[in-house]
Amino acid sequence: MDTHHTLTRMANQIGGFFEAMPDRQEALAGITLHIKRFWEPRMRRELQDCLQQEDAANLSPIVREALQADDSWRVPH
């Protein structure tokens, strides 16, 4: 299975969990914090690449919003 597809699916699952929260800002922060804490740097680099390519369209809106609003999850290439 394609790595980008797998990471996109995983990010969307995280987004689905946090999307149920009543506070949108808390949900957005929760998504990026989860990725920052639990995803290894290689996975986060791949996710960064997804955001720069057409794979970004496969990310749910809340995940795209969270990742674009907070750069703290990013790692240098």
Q: What is the pLDDT along the chain (77 residues), one digit of tens a residue?
A: 588 899 999 999 999 999 999 999 999 999 999 999 999 999 999 999 988 887 788 999 999 999 999 999 999 88
Q: How many angstroms separate the CA atoms of 55 and 27, rounded?
A: 22
Domain that holds residue 8: 3-70
Tokens 């919003």 belong to 65
| CB distance 77 to 45 below 8 Å | yes
Number of structural domains in the chain: 1
Asked, for residue 75, whether it belongs to a domain, the answer is no
User: What is residue 11's predicted lDDT score, i.e. its pLDDT?
Assistant: 98
Asked, for residue 76, whether it belongs to a domain, the answer is no
